[in-house]
Amino acid sequence: MRSQVISKEDFKKIIHTLIEVQDIYSNALEIEKKILEQRKNLDDMSRQLARLSSMLKKYEQRKKELLKTKELVSENLANAKKRLAELMERESEIARNQRSIESFNIEVTTLRASISEISEELRSIEEQINDINDRYEETKKAYESLSIEYQAEEKVVEEQSKELIEKVEELKALKEKKLSQIPAHIAQSFDNLLTKKGGLAIVPIEDLGNPKKYKDHYYACSGCNIILPYMVVEKIKFGNDVVQCPSCFRYVYHPSWLDRLG
Ligand SMILES: [Zn+2]
C-alpha cells in the first residue's frame, strides 16, 4: 500500500486538481448527452417520415384496386344500359305479341333494377376513391413539410454536433493535462473512478455534529452516506495524504479544512 507522506501544499494542489478534473468530466458528459438527445430527435423524425411514406404507399395501392373495380363496374353498367337500349328498340315490335310482352316487361324491370343497383355501387366506389385521394393528399402534405423540417434539423444538428464534439475533445485533452500534473497512481485511479461512479469521484465530507458527548464530531461521506471512521477523519484533517472513503472509494475532503491548510 502506498502511504508516502506528501506536503500540505501538494495535498491541496491534488485535491483542487481532482475537483477541477471532475468538473471538466461533468461538462463533457453533459455535452455528450446533448449530442445524443439531438440525434434521438432526428431519429424520431426519421421514423415518423418512414411511417408516413408507408401510409402513402398503402393509399396508392388501395386507390389502384378501387380504380380497377370502378372499371369493371362501369363496364357492367354500360352493358346493362346497352341491353336495355336494345330491348327498348324492339318494344313496338314485341308489343304486337301478347305473350312475349310479358317476358319483355319482366326483363326490362329486372334490367332497370340492376342498372340502378350498379349505379349505386359505382357511386360508392367513387366516394371511396375521393376519400382515398383526400387522405393521400393530406398525408403527402404532412410528409413533405416534415421532410423539409427534417432536412433543416439535420443540417443544424450536424453543425452543432461538430462543434460539440470538438468541445468534448478539448475538455478531454484539458482533463488529461490536469491529470498529468498529479501523481500517476492517483490520476489513474481517479479517472477510473469517474467512469465507474458516473462522474462523481471526489466528494466533500459532511459534518453531522456531535450527537454523543464523548467524541468531537461525526462525519459522513456525502457520496455514499456512511459515517467515516475516526482514523479516516483524522487523516483528512491532517492533510498529508489523499484519502478515499472506505465504503465507496470516492476521494473525500473537507472544504474549510482544505482552506486552512498551508
Ligand atoms: Zn463513500
C-alpha cell at 49: 417520415
Edge to edge, the sheet with strand 218-221 lists 218-221, 202-209, 251-253, 243-244
Q: Report the DSSP pairing between strands 251-253 and 202-209.
A: parallel
Q: Residues within 5 Å of ion ligand 1 by Cβ?
A: 221, 223-224, 245, 247-248
The yes or no reply on domain 31-179 and CATH 1.10.287.1490 is: yes
> How much is the pLDDT for 71?
97
pLDDT, average across residues 225-251 = 93
Cβ neighbours for 207, distance < 8 A, ≥ 6 positions apart: 217, 218, 219
User: 245 CA to middle of ligand 1, Å?
Assistant: 5
| pLDDT tens-digit series, residues 72-109 | 999 999 999 999 999 899 888 887 877 788 888 999 99
pTM of the model: 0.71
User: 181 CA to middle of ligand 1, Å?
Assistant: 25
**CA–CA gap between residue 29 and residue 36 (Å, rounded):** 11
Q: Is the alpha carbon torsion for 34, 36, 37, 39 positive or negative?
A: positive
Annotated domain spans of the chain = 8-22+183-260, 31-179
Topology alike, domains 8-22+183-260 and 31-179: yes
User: 212 CA to middle of ligand 1, Å?
Assistant: 22
Q: How confident is the model at residue 215 (pLDDT cuts 50, 70, 90)?
A: low
Looking at domain 8-22+183-260, which CATH architecture does it have? Orthogonal Bundle (1.10)
User: 219 CA to middle of ligand 1, Å?
Assistant: 11
Least confident piece of the model among 29-43, 83-97, 145-159, 201-215: 201-215
Question: pLDDT at residue 1 above 50?
Answer: no
User: 153 CA to middle of ligand 1, Å?
Assistant: 43
